[in-house]
Every structure is written in C-alpha cells, then in structure tokens.
C-alpha cells in the first residue's frame, strides 16, 4: 500500500446487551472515523442480545450509511461474534474493538498510522487498565504470562482483541475455521509483519461485564488448548504414572 492512496477501513464491533453504551459508541466512533482519510464502514455484530441493542443498532444504520448490522440468531459468544464480522468486512484493513468503549476509538488513528508504515497486524497493548477489580487485573496478567510460557507462538501479553489487521493477514485468518477460537492467539500465529501500539484501557462506559468467570475460563482454556500441548503431555505422563503404579501393585 502506498501512503496517501485512498483506503477503505472497516471496524468490527461485537455487541451483547450493550443498550447503555451503544449510542455513545456510535457517536465517538463516528467522530473518529470522520477524521480518517478514505472510505470507512462499521460492522456492528449483535450477538443475540436480549435487550434493545439490535433496535438501537439498526437505528444507527438508518442514520449513518457507514454503519452495517449483522444479527446472530442467538448468543454465540464474543469470539464467534468477531469472526462473523470479520467474514463480512470489505476494507483494506479492519479494526476489531469491543463495544463498551474499554477500547477507545480514539486509538484507531494510531493503529492506522502503523499500518501505513507497512505493518500488517497492529496489536493494541494495554499499558494500563482503568476501573477493573484488582483481582481481575492480576488474574489476566498471570494468565497472559503463563500462556506465553506454555506456547511457542509469540502471543504478546496484555493484548486483547483490539487490533488492526491488513487484508492480507485477514485472508489468511479467514481460512482458519476452528470452532473453539482464541482469536488473539490466531492473529499472533498467522505471521506477517506485526507490531504493537500502547493505550490506556478505559473503564467500561456503562453496564456490566458480559464476561462472567465461566466464559472467561472457557476463553482461557481455548487459548491454552489451542496453542500448547502441555495439557496433552501432562495427561500422558499421568496415565503412564498411574499404569506403572498399577503394574507394580499387581506384581
């Protein structure tokens, strides 16, 4: 891509019961995209919300031609909602961001800048996290570091799903159709020229986290099981140890 050429930038936002944050998201994201050179589109993905999220989203679509809406038939979860959006975008690059404004839209120009410099994947790294319980922050920090020790894939720590991805990397990503998806790991694995941009993670704008411990544990397990064979090795060793003991016992 040559600098200054007209570009198309897509943004994918997964939404689950975000009635309280959606109007502010549309406002702030719209304002940021006003300042981005070239055509832009926003693909809102309603992940089976049971509140008025879909209604508010379709109002945004009616008002602003840059917005599109995908409605999933039920709640499939964050990672599948993102994947549905990524399958639909038409841009030369796509930004993935949460819909609760914890990923500030104002960081998008920084991501685009690095992309224009030639990077194909630009991960947004949380250099600080506002307004989250200390336990949750500590747990996340520990998990990211543990996963890094268990895997050969260089998955940067403190990186969520907030990132920019060039069309070429997106095409490669789209061939990976695994059902249990740990998207942040998949984008690290896929290669290409990658870099990071630091940002201050804000507090959720309104409402509560849509990631209860159960969903978080599943995401963590998907990360470990997809990117490390340590659990498999552990199970094998345990199996050997138990059968050896049983053998000795029988003898």
88: closest CA among 155, 178, 24, 170? 170
Consecutive H or E run containing 193: none
CB atoms within 10 A of CB 230: 14
Residue from 122, 164, 210, 227 in contact with ligand UDP (CB under 6 A): 210
Considering the complex, state which of residue 195 and residue 209 has its C-beta at the smaller distance from ligand UDP.
209
Considering the complex, state which of residue 78 and residue 184 has its C-beta at the smaller distance from ligand UDP.
78
Residue from 12, 22, 40, 47 in contact with ligand UDP (CB under 6 A): 47
Of 107-136, binders to ligand UDP (CB under 6 A) are none
The reply on whether position 102 binds Mg ion by CB under 5 A is yes
Residue from 18, 92, 100, 161 in contact with Mg ion (CB under 5 A): 100
Cα 251 from Cα 233, distance rounded (Å): 27
CB of 204 to ligand UDP, least distance (A): 6
The reply on whether position 78 binds ligand UDP by CB under 6 A is yes
The reply on whether position 75 binds ligand UDP by CB under 6 A is yes
Q: Are strands 8-15 and 67-71 parallel, antiparallel or unpaired?
A: unpaired
Q: How far is CA 78 from CA 5, 20, 136, 196, 222, in A?
A: 33, 18, 18, 22, 13
The reply on whether position 105 binds ligand UDP by CB under 6 A is no
Residue from 32, 69, 89, 99 in contact with ligand UDP (CB under 6 A): 99
Cα 68 from Cα 44, distance rounded (Å): 6
Considering the complex, state which of residue 9 and residue 70 has its C-beta at the smaller distance from ligand UDP.
70
DSSP string, 58-105: HHHHHH-TTEEEEE-SS---HHHHHHHHHHH--SSEEEE--TTSSS-G
Interface positions with ligand UDP (CB under 6 A): 14-16, 18, 47, 75, 77-78, 81, 98-100, 102, 204, 209-211
Interface positions with Mg ion (CB under 5 A): 100, 102
């Amino acid at each position: 891509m040559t600098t200054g050429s007209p570009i198309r930038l897509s943004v994918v936002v997964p939404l689950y019961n975000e009635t309280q944050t959606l109007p502010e998201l549309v406002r702030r994201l719209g304002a940021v995209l006003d300042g981005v050179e070239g055509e832009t589109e926003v693909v809102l993905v309603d992940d089976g919300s049971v509140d008025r999220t879909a209604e508010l989203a379709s109002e945004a679509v009616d008002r602003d031609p840059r917005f599109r809406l995908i409605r999933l038939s039920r709640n499939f979860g964050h990672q599948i909602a993102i994947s549905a959006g990524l399958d639909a975008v038409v841009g030369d690059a796509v930004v993935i961001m949460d819909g609760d404004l914890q990923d500030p839209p104002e960081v998008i120009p920084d991501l685009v800048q690095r992309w224009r410099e030639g990077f194909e994947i630009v991960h947004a790294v949380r250099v600080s996290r506002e307004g989250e319980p200390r336990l949750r922050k500590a747990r996340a920090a520990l998990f990211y570091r543990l996963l890094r020790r268990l895997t050969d894939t260089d998955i940067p720590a403190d990186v969520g799903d907030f990132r920019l991805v060039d069309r070429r990397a997106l095409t490669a990503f789209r061939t990976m159709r695994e059902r249990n998806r740990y998207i942040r790991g998949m984008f690290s694995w896929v290669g290409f020229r990658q870099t990071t941009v630091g940002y201050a993670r804000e507090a959720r704008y309104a409402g509560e986290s849509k990631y209860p411990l159960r969903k978080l544990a599943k995401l963590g397990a998907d990360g470990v099981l997809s990117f490390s064979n340590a659990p498999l090795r552990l199970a094998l060793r345990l199996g050997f140890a138990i059968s050896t003991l049983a053998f000795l016992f029988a003898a």
